[in-house]
Structure 1
C-alpha cells in the first residue's frame, strides 16, 4: 500500500537520507521515497496502514521534521 505525504523540514540530500533511514526502521514500512523537487514530497510503501501520528512518532527520533498526509 502506497501513500503520499509531505515532510516539512527537508532541505538537502542529507535530510533525505536521515529521514529515509529513520522511517525505514519501522517494521511496517517497506520503502520510503523522499524527493527534493517538490521539496519534502514523500511516497511511503507500507505492509500495514500507519496513521500520520504513527509516522510522526517515528520521525520524532529526529528533530525538526513534521509529516502530513496528502490527498491521493
Structure 2
C-alpha cells in the first residue's frame, strides 16, 4: 500500500476537485483520493494505491482533468 501527497496549482472550486478526483481514481491501482482544496494557493492531493504513482502519471491525469499543474510531491 502506498500513500503519496502532491501539491497542485490551478484548482479553485468543487468542480476542479471532482475533475481531478475522477481522473486520479481512473489510474490503475488507485484505491483512494483525498483533496484539501486551497483556492488561493496550492491544493494538497493525497493518493492511496497499491503502488506509488510517478509524477508523470499524476501530471498526465491533472492535464486530462483541466488546467491543473503538479507543483511538487512529498511523502508523509
TM class, shorter-length: 0.7 to 0.9
Unaligned runs of 5+ in 1: none
Counterparts of 2:21 and 2:73, CA distance in 1: 16
Unaligned runs of 5+ in 2: none
Pairwise CA RMSD of aligned residues?
1.7
8 Å contact 1:8–1:66 — kept in the other structure? yes
Please identify runs of 4+ aligned residues in structure 1 that moved more than 2 A.
none
Name the counterpart of 2:73. Answer: 69
**Length-normalised TM-score, structure 2:** 0.80
Paired residues, number: 72
